[in-house]
Amino acid sequence: MRCFIIILIIFLSSDIQAQKVWTMDDCIDFALQHAHSIRQQNLQVAAARDQVTQSKLAFTPYLSAGTSGSLSWGRSIDPETNIYNTVNYLNTGFSLSASMTLWDGGRSIIALREAKLNKQRQLNELQRQRINVELQVIQAFINALYFQESRLIHQKKLTDSRALLHQVQVQTELGLKGKADIAQAESQVAEDELSCLQCENQYKQAMLDLKKMMGSQELEVNEELRMNTDENDADTLHHSSSGWLLSPHRGAGGVSLSPLRGAGGVSLSPHMGVGEVSQHPTAVAARMRVKSAELTVKQARASFIPSLSLSAGVSTGYHRSYGTGIAPTPFGKQWHDNMGSSISTGISIPLWDQLSHVNTLRRSKRELTLARWEQEETMRQLQIDFTKACLDVEACQKEIAQQRQKLVADSIAHRVLLRQYEEGLSSFLHLQSAVRTLQQSRISLLRQRLLLILKKRTLKQYGYTS
C-alpha cells in the first residue's frame, strides 16, 4: 500500500511538472537561442571578428623558411670549383627570409577600418534578426493566446446554453414553454459545440505555428500560455469565472471602466523627430553602408600612391663529394662559413594600368552617392513607419474604450432579454440574437486587447521606451 501511494505521488508530481506555463518572454528567449537565422548570423559575426584579426596581422612582417636538397651523379659541377667533374655530390640548402610593407598608401589601414566596420555591420544585422524573430514570435504568441482565450469564451457560452436548455426543458414539463423552444435551445447547444470544436482546432494550429517560430521541440499544444506578469499594458489579461478577459477594475456587466492610458501610461504623439528612429538597426545599417562606401572611395584613391617594401634574409648550403676520398667539412662549420645574408628595399609606382584605377574610383564615387540617397530614403521611411505605429497604438486604445462601452450595453441588454424570456415576455430568437451579440463583443474586446499588446511591442523596436 505504501509503495502504491509513493508511485501515485511521483506520477502526479511528474504530471504537474509537465504542464509548463509559457509567457511571452519565455517564448522570445527560447526563440532567440534556437532560431535558425540567429544562429547563422552568429557565425557571420565570428567570421567578421576573424577578418579584423587578419587585418591587424597584416601590419606584421611576413616570415618564411625553406630548405632544398639535391643528389647529382655523372658529369656535374663541383660546388667548390665550379668545374665539371664525374664525382657524385650531395647538396642541401637552408634559407630564412622576412618581408614587410612599410607604406602602401594607407590601404592596409583602410582595410582594417573596413574590417572593423564590417564587424559592426554584422552585429547590427544580428540585432535586426533578433528584432524580426522577436516580432514573429510575438505575433504567433498573440495568435495562439487569442484562440486559447477564445476557447474559454466559447466553453462558457456552451455551458450557459446547456444550462438554458435544461431550464427550458423544466419549464416545458411545467407547461410554460413549448417544444419549439426546446428545439431552438438544442440547436443553440449544437452550434456552440461546433464553435468550441472549431476553436480548439484553430488553437492547436496556432500552437504549432508558435512552435515553428520558436524552433522548439518542447512546446506542446496542451500547454498554457500567459502574458508576462510585468507587462505594462492598460489592458492586462485576467481570467474570470465567466471565462472571458476582464480587468482588475470591473464595472457594470463585468467590464473594466478604468480610464485608458497611452503606451506605457503616457500619451503618444506621432510628431516626433528623426532621433526617435536613428538607433533602429535599419537606420544604423544605412549609415554603415555610407561609411563603407566612403572607405571604398579612399581605398580607390590610395591605389594611385606608390608603395614601399623592405625584405631581408639569410641562407646557407652544405655539400659532400663521394668517391674523392676527401672528408667533408662538418655541417656546423659549413653553416657558419657558407652563410649569406641580404637586405633589400623596393618601391612600386603605378604608371599605367589601362585606367583601371580611374574607373574603380569613379564607380566607388557613384556607389557612395547612391548609399547616401538610400540612407535618406531609409530614414524617411522609418519615420513614417514610426508615426504609423504611434497612430496604431492610439487608435487601438480608442477602439478598446468604445468596445468596452458596447460590451457593457450588450451585457445589460442580454440580462434584460434573459429576464423577459424567463417571464415569457420575449421569444427565444430575440434572446439568441442578444447572446450572439454579447459573444461577438467579448471576442472583439479580446482581439483588440491582444492587438494593443502587439502594437506596443512593435513600437518598442523604434527605440520608444515606456
Three cell numbers, residue 198:
472549431
pLDDT band at 227 (very low <50, low <70, confident <90, very high): confident
pLDDT digit string, tens, across residues 302-359: 989 999 999 999 988 877 777 666 677 777 777 777 788 899 998 988 888 888 889 9
Output the pLDDT for position 447.
93
Task: Give residue 22's region: left, alpha or beta (phi > 0; psi -120 to 50).
Answer: beta
Reported as a pLDDT band with limits 50, 70 and 90, residue 87 is confident
Check if the beta carbon of residue 252 is closer than 8 Å to that of residue 408: yes
Interval 164-183: pLDDT, tens? 889 888 888 888 788 888 88
Alpha carbon distances (Å) from 312 to 65, 124, 268, 358? 12, 43, 69, 34
User: pLDDT class for 75, splitting at 50, 70, 90?
Assistant: confident
Total Cβ atoms within 10 A of residue 225? 23
Sign of the CA dihedral 389, 391, 395, 398? positive
From 258, 249, 360, 385, select the one nearest 301 (Cα to Cα).
360
Closest CA to 35 of 211, 218, 217, 215: 215
Q: Which pLDDT does position 462 carry in this prediction? A: 78
The 10 Å CB-count burial string (b at 16+, else e) for 95-133 is bebeeebeebbebbebbbbbbbbbbebbbbbbebbbbeb
Q: Which residue has the higher pLDDT, 70 or 79?
A: 70
pLDDT at residue 131 greater than cutoff 60: yes
Q: How far apart are CA 60 and CA 67, in angstroms?
A: 23
For the four alpha carbons of 404, 405, 408 and 409, in that order, the dihedral sign comes to: negative
> What does the pLDDT look like over 345-400, one tens digit per residue?
989 888 888 888 899 999 999 999 999 999 999 999 999 999 999 999 999 999 99
| pLDDT score of 132 | 92
Alpha carbons 34 and 18: distance in angstroms, whole number: 21
Instruction: Give the integer Cα–Cα distance in Å for 196 and 45.
Output: 48
Could you tell me the residue ranges of all domains in the chain? 20-60+107-307+361-460, 64-103+308-347
What CA–CA distances, in Å, run from 200 to 62, 74, 145, 147, 149? Answer: 69, 95, 12, 8, 11
Q: Point out which residues pair with 313 in neighbouring strands.
A: 97, 342
Return the CATH number of 20-60+107-307+361-460, one of 1.20.1600.10, 3.40.640.10, 3.30.230.10, 3.30.470.20: 1.20.1600.10
Residue 225 pLDDT exceeds 90: no
What DSSP string describes 140-207?
A: HHHHHHHHHHHHHHHHHHHHHHHHHHHHHHHHHHTTSS-HHHHHHHHHHHHHHHHHHHHHHHHHHHHH
Q: How far apart are CA 436 and CA 464, in angstroms?
A: 39
Q: Which residues is 70 bridged to in the sheet?
A: 91
Query: DSSP string spanning 101-147?
Result: EEESTTHHHHHHHHHHHHHHHHHHHHHHHHHHHHHHHHHHHHHHHHH
Residue-level pLDDT at 116 = 95
CA distance 225 to 445: 19
Instruction: Look up residue 462 and give its DSSP letter.
Output: T
CA–CA distance, 342 with 314 (Å, rounded to integer): 6
Global pTM? Answer: 0.75
Q: Quick: pLDDT tens for 247-278.
A: 333 333 333 323 333 333 334 444 444 456 88
When mean pLDDT is compared across 227-231, 334-338, 347-351, 447-451, the lowest value belongs to 227-231
Give the separation between CA 49 and CA 118, rounded to whole angstroms: 9
Work out the mean pLDDT of the chain and round it to a whole number. Answer: 81
Using left for φ > 0, alpha for ψ between -120 and 50, and beta otherwise, residue 363 falls in alpha
For position 432, what pLDDT does the model report? 86
